[in-house]
Structure 1
């Protein structure tokens, strides 16, 4: 197979696919991206570079579309160069939304164009209006509607479409959902495995919690409202008062990956540290971690708290379940697709730090009962999200 992956980040959702395809010398694998970092054996990474950002004078509703068009132009130029060099893909597989696949059918009209659809935006009924303290105005509603323009263009022109979860597929217009297959990227359950009585020692950041019996973990790309960081920190303040021996480990960057930043330039971490009474000797911010250290955090976790708006489901929750973590998750649609309350995890009101703290107390009071929930959490991932099985299905979908 000759395949061209397109994603501004590298390798993103295509890591496992690109890796296994690159291992076969019969395949010719090219990955177009804006990212300079990283390599995969057998994969020819080609950099495309947008010429500019959307213009400041562009109407605010269509800045996302202009950005997608600019990125699509950059990919067009890269694809023309590849064509001149004799590369004509059987399949182009692009992540929709940023715009890399917008013009690919104009360069490679005989190629199959497959697109990965992560999200369809709505002003009401999912993430945008979830927080009652952050109401939408008319401009926000209109901007969100137009934000789907590039996505709809991809959905119209692609030969096949894929979305990782049923919840994410259901965000798309009903009349277009029949084109979208649900197939998750998969979790490496051989790598993400539990180790009974695992101790947490991260020498790289001088963190030794080997003598700690109660470790609560939280993982997110950014410390932000979309992943419930403010509510989590308010719960931490309560938990620390109730449980003097409990330590909290927070993995992730001090940034906003989704949604709005604070208007005064502060980060949400700064705001929480300034406004909440916290014992910093028992609150550990690790930043982003290498995979081995990240795995150790999950293996040593007593309770893993995962909160999210009704939005894209994080890989980290599924990886934590595969590692046998006791998940305390938000009672929101993407989480409920995977976690059944009391069966393979526990659910809690997203907006109630008190309820989160209460469930933490309950979990620590019934550790033996929670062991069964941990085991069923891993079984869920092994049975439904195991990388080996899903990767085989993904390859079949690409080749059929």
Structure 2
């Protein structure tokens, strides 16, 4: 494969893949605060990519995000690639509908994004030294890529679903509403999955590890590292003596009767959790502040409050009502627009006015705005929840407050503004502390050391080299089907498929993907007159063999051996009273199998939770209310199909897969041509609405033939649409 040209300093350098799926990501004029999905994380990942690319031991950094083609947003987000300099790139990949979607709507499309990400990495031609997921959705993608490529995985949560759910409950939202609005159970499951697979979790603070991650079943603090994010000290710096007012001052000045007073500024999204209301009430209730300082609230961009999404609309409407109720006109500025280039100037306005920057959020995992303010010379007042505690403990540049105590917030702000020597002390300490603890170059140095240690820790074998000879190497399309109740179950339909296969065997590779052992699969296919497959995926994806000789794919066996501890798994689960080990003949090198007695008495989630807590790694498959199979985390039907596609050079979009039940689901999703036969189990109904998944009207093998015709496998190998349709 031809390699893409990349920066090289000491040899080829590290290849780092960062993933941040949601929001709007670009390298310039970031639209921070535009909505709940385009906030601090967006800035974090772009700055991280740039900082890592500057490191002399890094050759290439790819930041993978979602491509958006939507007239409501800038055309920048439709560009497939953006060069950030020094070997860093933003790479935008298709993921579901082209238009902009909030992150809660993206879950059904992430498998397709993962397949597209794999395709991009293969086109680059370099093996990733690390794959780093940012937030739960990217963690889901990173798990798949790490499992397929055998590369170490890092995960950064940015914010966590369990913490968010508790905060929302405290604010009175019902569990049903939380689930409907935020898909919170899906998010938490993805976070648990990412924690289980990640070789290291990068956190911003010790509090994040000790309190927030500790609420998760798969809490392994020894695999967690604190590497605080940095700030760009070339952008964020104190005002120069005699510096003229910046352009954004005009948008602020017009609100204020006495504009030369110190500014109390908050800068955040218009989000309930940012607690702008608490700051406004603190200011309104303190006579000294009203007489001696102005309040500046920068809460995203808007043309018309009525056009904002509901959450932001409610926050801004409440803000205006409270300003009117407390008669704060002339004292509070709330500009409608600002650019990313205005943000450093806003901090400098606070510093030059001898004001204070305030972050009153209900919860704050880190607090990037706090170190930006500190780097600009402004003292800070911040919530006592999360990252601000560590920032102030390192920088000694401000006060912590209870975000639910307006009087305490006001007293903290007044205490700084009314004491000039104290203000000066905090300002100088913040500048020194940021340089010492929060530079991006320092972050990158720690990051690179971590990645290099992981490459020694994780065995990386090249299992994915493409073969250059043999029957499969000549094929450019394939049919891979489940056996029971898909290929078999209707003898006439099976014979019809066999006739089609014999006519097209020279053009199409044929494979089966089954839960059966290979000897059982071979016997049942011979009994029904089905020709020997080119590929056998057996034991629920834990084994791959080839052709009539059933030659084992030893590369697959080595690949899936990662973190596989069958003896510990058996010992752990034999203590469960309703689990009985199946006979030895049904146990495989990469499959531990139990009967559930009595049938239906098991909750698979409790098994996953127990394994997480014991730091055991396995894929849990519960089927027919009676069978429990444990596989390596890198083994499944879907992962096996993708491994074969990569190894033999058959494009995913040229591989038709067919199945009827839940253990076929990960094989059906993504870029593959999925066919669900008419006699499918109810659990596959959730896949309806994806244009790359076809629900056949016919049952068994006739449904398989219907899928072949639908996708025109022998000719165009195309689905009717480029992307999945909405549900």
Q: Does the CA contact (< 8 Å) of 2:17 and 2:128 recur in 1?
A: yes
In 2, distance between residues paired with 1:294 and 1:214?
A: 17
Q: Does the CA contact (< 8 Å) of 1:305 and 1:329 recur in 2?
A: yes
2:330 matched to 1:281? yes
Q: Does the CA contact (< 8 Å) of 1:68 and 1:97 recur in 2?
A: no
Aligned position for 1:386: 439
* 1:278-305: CA deviation from partner (whole Å, max 9, x where unpaired): 4333322235634442222212311111
Moved more, 303-312 or 21-30: 21-30
In 1, distance between residues paired with 2:277 and 2:123?
A: 52
For residues 207-356 of structure 1, the aligned pairs below 5 Å read 207=251, 212-220=260-268, 222-239=269-286, 243-244=290-291, 246-253=293-300, 266-275=313-322, 276-287=325-336, 289-301=338-350, 302-340=355-393, 343-356=396-409
2:234 matched to 1:187? no
2:92 matched to 1:47? yes
Cα 1:137–1:290 shift into 2, 3 Å: closer
- Larger RCO, structures 1/2 (Cα 8 Å, 6+ apart): 1
In 1, distance between residues paired with 2:57 and 2:222?
A: 35
* TM-score w.r.t. length of structure 2: 0.47
* 1:235-278: CA deviation from partner (whole Å, max 9, x where unpaired): 233357853453222223169xxxxx868x84312222123334
Cα 1:262–1:169 shift into 2, 3 Å: same
* 1:4-27: CA deviation from partner (whole Å, max 9, x where unpaired): 221125363332342245456972
In 2, distance between residues paired with 1:200 and 1:241?
A: 29
Q: Does the CA contact (< 8 Å) of 1:306 and 1:317 recur in 2?
A: yes
Q: Does the CA contact (< 8 Å) of 1:16 and 1:391 recur in 2?
A: no
In 1, distance between residues paired with 2:114 and 2:246?
A: 41
Q: Which has the larger radius of gyration?
A: 2
Q: Any stretches of 5+ residues in structure 2 without a counterpart?
A: 1-13, 27-41, 68-75, 303-308, 454-727
Deviation at 1:316, TM superposition (A): 0.3
Aligned position for 2:141: 100
2:171 to 98, 123, 134: 134
Paired residues in the alignment total: 379
Aligned alpha-carbon RMSD (Å): 3.5
2:118 matched to 1:86? no
* 1:80-114: CA deviation from partner (whole Å, max 9, x where unpaired): 254256343232222140133231134423x2222
In 2, distance between residues paired with 1:279 and 1:198?
A: 31
Q: Does the CA contact (< 8 Å) of 1:202 and 1:208 recur in 2?
A: no
Aligned position for 1:57: none
* TM-score w.r.t. length of structure 1: 0.80
Q: Does the CA contact (< 8 Å) of 2:237 and 2:376 recur in 1?
A: yes
Secondary structure at the residue paired with 1:281?
Answer: coil
Moved more, 139-148 or 226-235: 139-148
Secondary structure at the residue paired with 2:387?
Answer: helix
Cα 1:198–1:239 shift into 2, 3 Å: farther
* 1:18-62: CA deviation from partner (whole Å, max 9, x where unpaired): 224545697233332115446412334332222259xxxxxxxxx
2:193 matched to 1:153? yes
Q: Does the CA contact (< 8 Å) of 2:229 and 2:439 recur in 1?
A: no
Cα 1:390–1:270 shift into 2, 3 Å: same
